[in-house]
Amino acid sequence: VPVDGSHWLSMREVLDGLRQKGHEIVVVAPEINIHIKPSENFIMKMYPIPFTKEEMDGSIHSFSQDVFEEGSFLERFGKVYQRLKSISAIALSACAHLQYNKELVRYLEESKF
């Protein structure tokens, strides 16, 4: 966690390889994400989070724009730092909502996840 973005793109190949070797794969992900989509190769367990896809996409898009924006190094650094704080807050919120999702945590515990 976090598992989305480029982390997921790399992990997807690993999961496909494990599935080919006969392993049962369970993917736990927030309902709002970028790349994690259901597949026949794994069981998907999703949990709600308190922000929208538009909010998440907007935060990531703004970060990308700020990285390449014109201006002094100090101005760009300040903007990028603020955007990273925002993205980190979203990731932390997603982690907390997983941790406090009693039904999902119970499922994971009972299945020896």
Which helix or strand (DSSP H or E) is residue 106 part of? helix 102-110
Reduced to 3 states, what is the DSSP secondary structure of residue 11? helix
Averaged pLDDT for residues 9-28: 91
- b/e sequence 5-41, b meaning 16+ C-beta within 10 Å: eeebeeebeebeeeeeeeeeeebbbbebbeebeeeee
- Whether pLDDT at 2 is above 60: no
- Whether pLDDT at 3 is above 80: no
Number of separate domains in the chain: 1
Q: Is 42 part of any domain? A: yes
Q: Letter for the amino acid at 69?
A: E
DSSP for residue 113: -
Please tell me the distance from the alpha carbon of residue 11 to that of residue 38, in angstroms, as a whole number.
14
The confidence score (pLDDT) of residue 1 equals 54
Which domain range does residue 80 map to?
6-111
Q: Is 1 part of any domain? A: no
Q: Is 38 part of any domain? A: yes
